[in-house]
């Protein structure tokens, strides 16, 4: 029987922490420092209902974009979560239609 040989990576722990630091810096600057104030400033120009809908659809939109751009597959729990979000949104807006 042949033994499997594992390839050893030349990726070191120091490189991993450096990449993690750059990732955290990028995410904190882009997602927090730039987008959040822009979102808060934009909310005053629309209704509270629309803001609620936009914020409810944020995780669904993130899952769809991750599928198309990062080729990620949503598991069963994620699909059920998306269905709960969308059904809650429809039920909440049903009276207004």
Q: How many domains does the chain have?
A: 2
Q: Does residue 41 sit in the same domain as residue 56? A: no
Which residues make Cβ contacts (< 8 Å) with residue 96, sequence separation at least 6? 49
Give residue 40's domain range.
Answer: 12-45
Instruction: Give the chain's end-to-end CA distance (angstroms, integer).
Output: 68
CA distance 24 to 19: 9
Gyration radius (Cα) of the chain, Å: 21
Q: Does residue 34 sit in the same domain as residue 77? A: no
Does the residue 68 lie in any domain?
Answer: yes
CA distance 89 to 57: 9
> What is the reported pTM?
0.55
Residues 26-85 pLDDT 10s: 888 877 888 888 888 888 898 887 888 888 888 888 888 888 988 888 889 988 988 998
| Measured CA distances, 57 to 29, 81, 84 (Å) | 23, 11, 11
């Amino acid at each position: 029987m042949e033994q499997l040989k594992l390839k050893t990576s030349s990726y070191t722990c120091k490189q991993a922490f450096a990449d993690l630091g750059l990732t955290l810096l990028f995410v904190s600057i882009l997602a927090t420092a730039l987008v959040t104030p822009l979102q808060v400033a934009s909310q005053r120009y629309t209704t509270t209902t629309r803001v609620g809908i936009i914020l409810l659809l944020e995780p669904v939109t993130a899952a769809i974009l991750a599928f198309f751009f990062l080729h990620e597959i949503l598991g069963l729990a994620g699909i059920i979560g998306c269905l709960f979000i969308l059904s809650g949104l429809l039920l909440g807006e049903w009276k207004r239609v």
